[in-house]
Structures are given as C-alpha cells and as structure tokens.
A and B are shown apart, each in its own frame.
Chain A
Amino acid sequence: SQQGEEDPQALSIQEGENATMNCSYKTSINNLQWYRQNSGRGLVHLILIRSNEREKHSGRLRVTLDTSKKSSSLLITASRAADTASYFCATDASGGNNRLAFGKGNQVVVIP
C-alpha cells in the first residue's frame, strides 16, 4: 500500500510563528487528509483535500496539494501552545478499497 511521508519529522517553534509540514506519496489518490494526535490520544481529523483541489483553508490551517509532484503541505498560522501535537498525513488511494495510508507523523512543539 502507498504511504505518506512527512518532512520534517520534528519541529519546534515559538508561539505566534507559522509551522509548515510536508507530505509526499507514491500513487494516485482520491484525496489526502491531515490528522492531529495529542500525546497518548486518538487522532483527530483536521482537513481533507480532494485530488482536483490545489488549496484549502480551515481556520488557521492551510493545505496545498500538488498532484504532479505527489506532495502536500500543511501550514498552521499564528501557532499556539495548544497546537503542540503530532500531525499525520493520510492518503485515500484511487481504487475504492476504503483504506487510508498514514505517514509517520510530524511532531510539533509550540513554545509559549
């Protein structure tokens, strides 16, 4: 199965700064999703971008998708201490098997 891969793996920023994470994947997709995981908890869905979309916004989140490069980025603007978490991208591959392939995650620490 395909797998998203995030880059960089760990990011430490000051409160108020922007945080950017990247994700690459290998095969054709229906959509790409980003999830957040607080330490020791389940994942929470943040945003979904379809393969025919190039950019999507949700609050302080901005996601881009470049299907020609098979990559996506997640930007968190004006970060807060509460944004400290791990962030995962997940791809929903073309083919309709209803599976998601998750990347290894980006750990983001926002310093107050």
Chain B
Amino acid sequence: DGGITQSPKYLFRKEGQNVTLSCEQNLNHDAMYWYRQDPGQGLRLIYYSQIVNDFQKGDIAEGYSVSREKKESFPLTVTSAQKNPTAFYLCASRDRQGPSEQYFGPGTRLTVT
C-alpha cells in the first residue's frame, strides 16, 4: 500500500524544546517537501529536497532544520528558535520525472505551550 506517512498525528511540547516530525514515503519519489499551515494562510514552504543528501530552504526556514539521509525519509526538526511553532505541518512528495503533482501525508498538529 503505497503512500506517505507522518507521525505522530498530534504532538505537544513545552516551549524551549526541540521536536522532530517524521515523514516517510514508499512511493520512490525523489522530491520531498515540508509545509506549514496556519488558519487562513494556506500552505507555506519550509524546506524541500529534490534528491538524497540535498535540501533547500523554502520561504519560512528560520527555526527549522531537516535532513535527507534516505530517499524514503525527510524528518523536520522544529527548534526552540522558531518563535511561533504551533501549527499544522504537512509533508509531501513528488516524482521528479513525472507531472508536478504532490502527494501529501495526513499532517502533524504541533502544539507548543
């Protein structure tokens, strides 16, 4: 059953703690993306990776970090430097060779108090 998974669905953290969100795909896609979604603001790109061991900053990368050591995995770390981390985080992937449609995971809702 092919797809993209994110875990956990809900995550709670205290302010000042780093937290890592998981994203795994078995679609054999080269490109992976992390978005942040806040109410009324649509999706904003945090980081993206087009191939293993390579990634680029998106529009709102400050306070976040990523790694891409394996094709299947693209974890996102929300650091304590992110001033307003409470949000809904969405991971996506796409086949670089095919159409540019993206496949999304179910999302992780992070709440930092």
A residues near B (Cβ < 8 Å) are: 1, 3, 30-31, 33, 35, 40-45, 48, 88, 90, 92, 98-100, 102-105
Complex CA–CA separation, A99 to B41 (angstroms): 18
CB distance from A87 to the nearest CB of B (A): 11
Q: Are B41 and A45 in contact (CB under 8 A)?
A: no
CB distance from A102 to the nearest CB of B (A): 4
Complex CA–CA separation, A21 to B82 (angstroms): 34
* Total residues of chain B contacting the partner, CB 8 A: 30
Shortest Cβ-Cβ A-B pairs, 4 listed: A42-B104, A104-B42, A102-B43, A45-B101
Main secondary structure of the interface of B (DSSP, over half): strand
Residue among A90, A102, A104 with max Cβ neighbours from chain B (10 Å): A102
**A48-B99 in contact given A42-B106, A43-B90 (Cβ < 8 Å):** yes
Q: Are A41 and B100 in contact (CB under 8 A)?
A: no
For B59, the chain A residues whose CB sits under 8 A away are 1
